[in-house]
Amino acid sequence: MVEESRMKKINLFLIMLMLCKLTFSELILNSSNLSPSKYEVFNLEVSFVNEDKERYKIDGLENFDVLSKGSSNSYNVINGKTTSVKSDVYRLKPKKDGEFTLKVITEKGNEKALQIDVRENKQLDKVMEDRFALQVDIPKKSYYFGEKIPFQENFISTVNISSFSQVKAPNFQDFSVKDITKYNNNSYIQNQIDYKGKQAIELNIFKGILQANSSGEKNIVTSEVKVGEPTRDFFYENTTLVGGDNLKIDIKPLPVDTPKNFKDIVGTLTYKENWKNKEVNVGQAITLNLTLSGSGNLALLENLPIENQNNFNIFQSVKNYSEEIKGENYYNEKTFEVAFIPKNGGIEKTPEIVIPYFNTKTEKYENLIIPSQEIKVTGEKLQIDNSSNNRPIQKNMENNNSVNKSETTSSGNLTNNLQEINIKLLETEKTSAKNIYKLAFGIVSLLCLIELITIIYLVLDRKKYKNVKKR
């Protein structure tokens, strides 16, 4: 009976402790400004009173930029009663105008919420736009899949600034990106420009070439930069965040009727041709330098689509390739060198070169045609004497000497009869792999033998030393 009474007292004491904790512990959510403009920075404080700080999340925080986060602990004793407060302090800046709810939810399910009304201030918007701007240069809002997209960001300021930093780089969620931003001694390149009738400084903070990974509507989040303006207080400056806007770009799919030999070149395409010679001998090369240029993605064109013909041996290579942004537009250039070696004499025509591509201006598949070139070939049909392929070099030299002797008349002059000289293919002697293995084995064996002799010498020398010491 006594034991049962004792247990009741303990349970009652524990219940009282829990009630006290619930009574005196509290979750508090405060804001230094409930109606800021989107240019104003304010503090949000999450406090746990008389309890340990729990893990929590803040719904609605995605509508604000978190500039910093700090923590603090404080203890107060009033009339013998101790109060502890553990807090997290966030410095926030609104991303846009409107009403937003910030709700703190702890692991135990406790909740606190605040309504933040971000005021629209058109007058301040106009003032800020005249002072700072993040200008995004993208020529169009709609592109075809496979088309290269030029993208540039420039920060413009009409006032003196004390500090500048890029808080967030642009976010290209579903694009392949080639960054071609240029710097001057690790600093942004600056230019003096006229902006809305005022002298301004322009910083090129990003320049890149984009290509969508799939079709459909895409989203790009621009850079976000932090700008500091000097004040009368040497140790303090006014800071402003600029940028972080969303851009929508529509990527259209290509038509399904893809032509033969299409290499995914999408854009515009032109060419320049240069033939080095138009009269050659049989077996002598006539060279074409072909430069393709435009907004089509020429990096995908590894070889020119030239049909093989019996009248020519054809060899080609890429001499150079470059891409850049000219003004606001994408531009690339690729030069091929093509050698046509005629097999027959007479008047011959080089094969026509046809390059299919999708023209983004006409929105149709088209062919870029490089017309054939008429050339004059001197000499008879090129022949290869396969029977002489395996003849030794010395014997070929003797045969050539005999030809020279038969061409010489008694007076020492050459006859007018032209002799046909067969092309002789010489084989180079190949080093057998077995000989290499034998050589390697011999070297290793020699090293092992030297090491064995050294060990025997050291052992004998040591024994000799011990015998001398005993004497």
* CA pair distance 156, 161, nearest whole angstrom: 11
Token duo for residue 13: 């004491």
Asked whether the beta carbons of 297 and 267 are under 8 A apart, the reply is yes
| DSSP strand pairing (279-281 vs 286-294) | unpaired
* CA pair distance 387, 377, nearest whole angstrom: 27
* CA pair distance 335, 320, nearest whole angstrom: 6
CATH number of 124-252: 2.60.40
Token duo for residue 192: 């003096």
* CA pair distance 229, 163, nearest whole angstrom: 7
Q: Minimal CA–CA distance to 144: which of 261, 297, 292?
A: 297
10 Å Cβ neighbour count for 48? 21
Q: Minimal CA–CA distance to 283: which of 206, 186, 133, 383?
A: 383
Given this model, what pLDDT does residue 413 score?
38
Token duo for residue 186: 């690790």
* CA pair distance 344, 356, nearest whole angstrom: 30
CA distances from 270 to 273, 345, 414 (A): 10, 33, 53
Q: Same CATH fold, 266-378 and 24-117?
A: yes
10 Å Cβ neighbour count for 239? 15
Residue 48's SS3 state is strand
* CA pair distance 64, 102, nearest whole angstrom: 10
Rg (C-alpha) for the chain, rounded Å, is 42
Asked whether the beta carbons of 81 and 131 are under 8 A apart, the reply is no
CATH number of 24-117: 2.60.40.10
Q: Which mean pLDDT values do the consecutive 10-residue runs of the chain (471 residues) have?
A: 60 51 69 86 90 88 88 80 87 87 90 89 73 90 95 93 90 93 91 90 94 95 89 74 89 93 94 91 92 96 88 93 94 96 90 95 95 89 48 38 38 36 36 65 84 84 64 51
0.75 exceeded by pTM = no
Name residues whose C-beta falls within 8 Å of residue 343's C-beta, 6 or more positions apart in sequence.
Answer: 282, 283, 310, 311, 312, 313, 381, 382
Q: DSSP state, 298?
A: G
Token pair 């020398």 is found at 461
Pick the CATH number of 266-378 from 3.30.450, 2.60.40, 1.10.3470, 1.25.40: 2.60.40
Identity of the residue numbered 302: E
Which residue ranges make up each domain of the chain? 24-117, 124-252, 266-378, 430-471
Token duo for residue 293: 């240029």
Asked whether the beta carbons of 47 and 30 are under 8 A apart, the reply is yes
CA distances from 452 to 170, 446, 455, 456 (A): 68, 10, 5, 6
The residue ranges of DSSP E strands in 345-417, in sequence order, are 346-349, 353-359, 364-370, 374-378
Q: Minimal CA–CA distance to 136: which of 222, 208, 199?
A: 222
Given this model, what pLDDT does residue 130 score?
80
